[in-house]
Chains A and B, each alone.
Chain A
Amino acid sequence: MFAKGDLAAGLRSSVARDALLVSFQTSLISLAAMVLVGTPIAYLLATRDFPGRSLVVTLFELPLVLPPAVAGLGLFFAFGRRGLLGSELSTLGLEIPFTKLAVVLAMTFVAAPLYLRQAQSAFAAVEPDLLAAARTLGAGPGRVFVRVAVPVAGEGLGVGAALGWARALGEFGATIIFAGSLQGVTQTAPVAIYLGFEGGQSDAAFALGAVMIAISAAVLLAVKLLGGRSSRFAPV
């Protein structure tokens, strides 16, 4: 049976510690990537109208409905050695599959749409007159974005980031196909849980599971608190 001693022992095991380290490293890099790239894209999608806009939105949302394993296959066929971009990348000396970069790519591919959607609706909820006011006060598009749109949409962006990060941390299907499971390199916590459970190392698996539950609960709580704050202070 699972007892307290097993949890501590499980967490001390090198498999569990390596997996947590890989998971945190890669998911935080992935989070940074989706926030840095996704925020301006979400802003443009929410505030500008251009031909083909709904097509772009649909394309960005595709990974939301795609089974993660299929996403992993897609990434493999795009970036693999014999993939669409693989030969160009390998002449540059870049081998992506089965590296940490592959883990980050898999996580970002699957989790970014979640952030993008949330960020888009956060920007869409910003009173258009606030952006117009900033422009009449001499702010160019970049300054309007940084000084008005992002801070006003801040709480919604925070919620999106929390959800995106949680999704990246829990990514399994795309990661195991595209990045494999090299302990200390590409083996993330969810992959380690699966393999540990299958391979009889259930101490590590359960310990990792407990950590993941704690993190998920913390993220959910943070989202609720952020959401509660924004609804208590109605926009002026």
Chain B
Amino acid sequence: MPKQVLVTGLGIVSGIGISVQETLASLLTGKSGVGVLKYLQTNHKDIPCSEVQLSDVQMRTMLSIPDSVPMNRTSLLGILAAKSALANANITPNKALRIGFISGTTVGGMEKSEQYYKDFLENDTRNEYIKIHDCGACTEIIADYFGGFSYVSTISTACSSAANAITLGSNLIKQGILDCVVAGGTECLTKFHLNGFKTLMILDKVQCRPFDATRAGLNLGEGAAYIVLESEESVKSRNAKVLCKVSGYGNACDAYHQTASSPDGKGAALAMQAALDMSGLIPSDIDYINAHGTGTTNNDESEGVAIMNVFGNTIPPVSSTKAFTGHTTSASGGVEAVISILAMQEGFLPPNLNFKNQIEKLSFAPVSKLRRNVKIDHVMSNSFGFGGNNSAIIFSKLQEIK
């Protein structure tokens, strides 16, 4: 009998709040984090993005990290979110509790590397930052802030990174290798990927409109979010409060094109179906889908078709929250896991902001206005990345632990 994977803590920082409470308030009041760039130094300040409303200096102060310690924004965001998740779960990592930290990121230390690259090549003044350029090093900065982790790893599958971190964490607990895993992702804005997405011509010049027939692209965002996964034994032994459980997940590859999703959303459909199969649920059991819904012409139609193929006549309420948080890329699976769990706990459907016109090919429209007092027992969160790395996770209310 496979072990249950329980969720005992949430932590999140994004453009809509630096705590779970602030995030919830923004979702309930329709407050988007997409706006004018304040912190990122770039020539493209006209591109609307969602930034965490904290400078690096402020974050260092909040975390008591002296200026002398080499640090990058991705790691700072990650530490903030992980700290929040651990506090929420009431856990201090230590070797006796077999606890792991799995983080998704793509930019890693690029935010500093792009500033110091000339120095990297020409002199020895920024050598400490060479050491923390790669993704794994960034994850270790976060893990080492707390100490006590037995297993530390980094996943980088673009926009599904954090979701895959959660599924790996779940697998490690199910097989009794770890008792507890802090899993999610972190990504700060960088000139590198802002310019990268700009060359792909998929950035909207205004706030994005996921699932809208007139949608014109995505807004980039930054953030970090982690959930604390735990085994039943660990929960029982410390009488922990359980928020929900991870009841199923799926990972499938679209294998179609490096940046475009297939018209029939094959990979997405396979991932969603696999999550349903693992959970033992049928499509009509799902009460809400937090879609990947980036606002690009390609993703939203492809994802929509995939949802239609999997859910048939029983499509649940669907919304994308990326017009709130922006597309936080590698962190999005974590950010949206937290939002999905909040929606389930508080019984509301986050609105898909800026929606007016249904996409012709799709049989459904997203939830465009906030709906409260909704019974959500099972929520699916989708994360689909470049390269066709598609993941879906189902979180479910726990009836009771026997």
Q: Do A and B come from one complex?
A: no
Interface, chain A (partner B; CB < 8 A)? none
